Amino acid sequence: MTVPPAKPDAIILLVEDDRRNSELTRVMLKIAGYNNMIYAESGKDVARVVEPYAHIDLVLCDIQMPGEDGYQLYERLRRMPQLQNTPIIAVTALVMPDDVTRVEEAGFNGFMGKPFNFDRFGGQIGRILAGESVWEAR
């Protein structure tokens, strides 16, 4: 993990229903140098979690979630004032080409398949924050 963080202070929102995976993401972001991860367990929590912040720098959003799924949530996220011009990345274990296509068609700005590649994870986040596009299914 030698890649230095692109924006160490970046506010990164994770929407993820699996607590173990959210904890993993938090730890991996921390190892990569990003300490400001905020976390919503479902779409319902997003507004409450985002409320204190003026701007969110990056959203990592799971796709398969109970209730409101990632595709539906994307529409709501996009309309939030704090998420104007914010890259919204799908983080999902649905990695078939159809899934990637659907994510792209829904409007997401990137794709990171699970399991994450530990060695590349930090670099991917850094590239996204630098305005690059990342589409890595597996």
- Binding residues (CB under 8 A) for another protein: these are 18, 20-21, 24, 27-28, 31, 64, 92-97, 99, 113-116, 118-119, 138
Please, where are the H alpha helices in 38-113? 43-50, 70-79, 97-106
| Nearer residue to another protein within complex by CB, 8 or 84 | 8
Q: How far is the CB of 98 from another protein (least distance, A)?
A: 8
- Cα–Cα distances (Å) from 96 to 59, 119, 134, in that order, read 22, 22, 16
**Within 10 Å of residue 92's Cβ, how many Cβ atoms?**
23
Q: Which is nearer to another protein, 4 or 115 (CB)?
A: 115
Distance CA 73, CA 94 (A): 16
User: DSSP 3-state assignment of 58?
Assistant: strand
Q: Which is nearer to another protein, 82 or 111 (CB)?
A: 111
Q: Rounded to the nearest whole angstrom, what is the least distance from the CB of residue 99 to another protein in the complex?
A: 8
Rounded to the nearest whole angstrom, what is the least distance from the CB of residue 41 to another protein in the complex?
15
